[in-house]
Amino acid sequence: MKLLILGANGFIGSNLIAHIVAHKPDWKIVGLDLATDKLGPLVGHRQVTFRQADMLASREWIEAQVKEADVVLPLVAIATPATYVSNPIAVFELDFEANLAVVRDCVKHKTRLIFPSTSEVYGMSEDLPYDEEESRLVTGPIHKQRWIYSCSKQMMDRVIYAYGVRGDLRFTLFRPFNWMGPKLDDVWSNKGTSSRVVSQFLSDIVHGRDIQLVDGGTSRRCFLYIDDAIDALMRILENKDGCADNGIFNIGHPGNEASIRQLAEQLLAVVKSYPDYKDTPTRIRDTTADTYYGKGYQDVDRRIPAIVQAERKLGWKPVTDFPSSLQKTVEYYMRVRPALQECHNASGG
Ligand SMILES: NC(=O)c1ccc[n+]([C@@H]2O[C@H](COP(=O)([O-])OP(=O)(O)OC[C@H]3O[C@@H](n4cnc5c(N)ncnc54)[C@H](O)[C@@H]3O)[C@@H](O)[C@H]2O)c1
């Protein structure tokens, strides 16, 4: 199998590639990304051909690779909520426009496409759980700019689905529900507030900053550990008897629901169990969405995936519970911790 993975150095791409080289010695991967830090030595692995470049400046190269590949996974996107509000146009241009060109390449060259949709396409749907075939996709008013990510992804889902129905594209759409694990984001560089919630809280704790809980942290999310997610992606890639063809799959853990406050409290407790952090000054503080994200933010209280489709068609079931997911994620970040002096310098201390 020959895969083209755009955004290969990201959270999902780097974990998927590590899994493939460990378990599928005859698969070949062509990867593209701006950076290489999460891939590390995998960049030079015999199964991996890597190009370090901007997707937006690699149009011809991408089309040539799509033509050669058996399957394409376009994972490049802006997927950080703070950016949906601070730079919505960039979200649209990258997540929708740049990826649409790749989708069209797949149609033109008849290459199978596996595309990342998102749990965010359900928006503020009141359904519990969210069902791929039945739930309405509900977003807020235009001035709540955070929905540009959800709309970009939803529009792409609809375009891909329409190409599929027309018989022009073999596709699978997968919808991650709050995946967490190693290599989520860099927690050690002290970059501030552009990370996703798990890595943002971890970064706050290891740098001794207070955790800011938006609107009391009462929103609840279902968290899925990355190993379970990669298991689902491998089943989609292997596509036994066409089980994933033209399917849409929620990939999440309905049993791992926790409030954002619980996430903060439990992450803090896990990190404090490491001697170097037992006296961390980090406290949990309340803030408002307007203060933290700006006026264009809006959110939904609960988001639970129905996973019947994935269970029935892919034979997939998540197995890692919430406490183990946190434990394993923190263990990874502690293992790759740079020398304390480097952290101190990165914190500007
Ligand atoms: N992780 C989740 O829980 C989650 C949830 C919902 C949807 N998704 C979707 O899954 C996909 C992958 O997510 P992820 O968590 O791996 O994201 P990520 O941000 O970790 O990875 C994206 C990668 O794209 C690269 N990239 C960004 N702009 C680029 C450009 N112009 N040219 C080349 N590379 C560029 C980045 O360097 C990064 O390595 C995204 O489409 C995201 O929207 C992820």
Average pLDDT, the chain: 95
Confidence of residue 341 (pLDDT cuts 50, 70, 90): very low
Ligand 1 pocket (Cβ < 6 Å) reads 7, 9-13, 32-35, 54-56, 75-77, 79, 94, 116, 118, 176, 178-179
pLDDT of residue 294: 86
Alpha helices in 239-348 (DSSP H): 260-272, 289-293, 308-309, 322-335, 340-346
Reported as a single tens digit per residue, the pLDDT across 299-329 is: 889 999 999 999 999 999 999 999 999 999 9
pLDDT of residue 295: 87
Atom of ligand 1 nearest to the CA of 14: 16
pLDDT at 217 over 60: yes
Confidence of residue 347 (pLDDT cuts 50, 70, 90): very low
Confidence of residue 293 (pLDDT cuts 50, 70, 90): confident
Confidence of residue 190 (pLDDT cuts 50, 70, 90): confident
Peptide bond into 129 cis (omega under 30): yes
Reported as a single tens digit per residue, the pLDDT across 93-143 is: 999 999 999 999 999 999 999 999 999 999 999 999 999 999 999 999 999
pLDDT at 344 over 60: no
3-state secondary structure of 175: strand
How far apart are the CA of 80 and the centre of ligand 1, in A? Answer: 9
pLDDT of residue 124: 96
How far apart are the CA of 303 and the centre of ligand 1, in A? Answer: 21
Half-sphere exposure (CA, 13 Å, Cβ side) for 124?
A: 10
CATH number of 2-181+224-255+303-319: 3.40.50.720
CA-CA distance, 294 to 59, in Å (whole number)? 34
Reported as a single tens digit per residue, the pLDDT across 194-206 is: 679 999 999 999 9
Q: Give burial (CB, 10 Å; 0-12/13-18/19+) of 228.
A: buried
CB distance 260 to 213 below 8 Å: yes
How far apart are the CA of 61 and the centre of ligand 1, in A? Answer: 19
3-state secondary structure of 212: strand
- The residue ranges of every structural domain in the chain are 2-181+224-255+303-319
Residue percentage of the chain with pLDDT more than 70: 96
Alpha helices in the chain (DSSP H): 11-23, 59-68, 81-86, 88-91, 99-109, 147-165, 197-206, 226-238, 260-272, 289-293, 308-309, 322-335, 340-346
How far apart are the CA of 341 and the centre of ligand 1, in A? Answer: 30
pLDDT at 335 over 80: yes
Most informative mutation of 12, 117, 148, 329 for ligand 1 (most atoms within 8 A of CB) = 12
How far apart are the CA of 146 and the centre of ligand 1, in A? Answer: 17
3-state secondary structure of 331: helix
Atom of ligand 1 nearest to the CA of 153: 43
Which DSSP letter does residue 322 get?
Answer: H
How far apart are the CA of 278 and the centre of ligand 1, in A? Answer: 33
What is the residue with the minimal CA distance to atom 9 of ligand 1?
Answer: 116
Half-sphere exposure (CA, 13 Å, Cβ side) for 93?
A: 7
- What are the phi and psi torsion angles at 179 (to 5°)? -75, 145
Q: Chain-centre distance of CA 105, in angstroms?
A: 23
CA-CA distance, 44 to 54, in Å (whole number)? 19
pLDDT of residue 330: 98
7-20 mean pLDDT: 98
How far apart are the CA of 253 and the centre of ligand 1, in A? Answer: 20
Most informative mutation of 16, 76, 92 for ligand 1 (most atoms within 8 A of CB) = 76
Half-sphere exposure (CA, 13 Å, Cβ side) for 78?
A: 25
Reported as a single tens digit per residue, the pLDDT across 238-278 is: 999 999 999 999 999 999 999 999 999 999 999 999 999 99
pLDDT of residue 299: 86
pLDDT at 30 over 50: yes
